[in-house]
Chain A
């Protein structure tokens, strides 16, 4: 089946640093989504991408839809303690409403 490889699996960073994570697929996707999950809660949608090459920002977060349509990237600038959580990517192929989820990147911010 389709798989999404998300990296890194976890990262510790200092407050104020920039963060980069990515997601790669063996299949072409028409939509990429990035979610954040905080402890004890369900994932919450951060950014949605619908077109190859698209670059979209949401505050300090910026995500890009890779040109090959098989990857996506999420950057967080000037991290703060509340950025702690697990970040998931999800991809959707044409003709289906099912999303494939990545395994998540666990982010910990050191004050």
Chain B
């Protein structure tokens, strides 16, 4: 099925461990995003990639790095996980739109727990 695929779905890390969250979309979208979702705080933008070859910081980039590997794939890396990074992470994609817009297509999320 067309859409955004995230892996893994669940992960438990020990403090200080590193890991990479993978995201791939098959809709030929130009822009991709990483959000984290915490209780009572809605969705907060971590990093985004407006187009292949570019990445920019969002609201809460500290402790994360990203790679736009190609047009389809956008990965999020935690170099040294901290308990404050326990969250649900969502990848999303969209067509580039500076006016109007069609919204995002979201993946089903990665639930990360850092102990």
Interface assignment of A31: CB less than 8 Å from any CB of chain B: yes
Bin chain B's interface residue count. 20 to 34
Residues of A in contact with B, size category: 20 to 34
Is the CB of A42 closer than 8 A to any CB of chain B? yes
Q: Which residues of B contact A94 (CB under 8 A)?
A: 98-99
Encode B44-61 as 1/0 by CB contact (under 8 A) with A: 110010100000001100
Question: Which residues of B lie under 8 Å from residue A98 when comparing CB positions?
Answer: 45, 48, 58
Cross-interface CB contact of B103 among A40, A90, A96, A102, cutoff 8 Å: A90
Could you say which of A11-19, A44-52, A56-64, A72-80 contacts chain B?
A44-52
Task: State the Cβ distance, A73 to closest chain B Cβ, in Å.
Answer: 18
CB distance from A60 to the nearest CB of B (A): 20
Q: Which of A1, A33, A96 contacts B98 (CB 8 A)?
A: A96
A102 to B40, CA, bound (A): 10
Q: Are B108 and A41 in contact (CB under 8 A)?
A: yes
CB distance from A35 to the nearest CB of B (A): 8
Docked-complex contact A44 and B106, CB < 8 angstroms: yes
Report if A103-B50 is in contact (Cβ < 8 Å); known contacts: A43-B106, A97-B96. Answer: no
- CB contact between B101 and one of A6, A97, A101, A102 (< 8 Å): that residue: A97
Taking a contact as CB atoms under 8 Å apart, the answer to whether A31 and B106 are in contact is no
Residues of A within 8 A of B108 (CB): 40-42
CA distance A40 to B108 in the complex (A): 7
**Chain A residues whose C-beta falls within 8 Å of the C-beta of B98 in the assembled complex:** 94-97
> Residues of A at under 8 Å CB distance from B?
1, 4, 6, 9, 30-31, 33, 35, 40-45, 48, 50, 88, 90, 92, 94-99, 101-104
Can you list 5 residue pairs at the A/B interface with Cβ under 8 Å? Answer: A42-B4, A42-B106, A45-B104, A88-B42, A94-B98
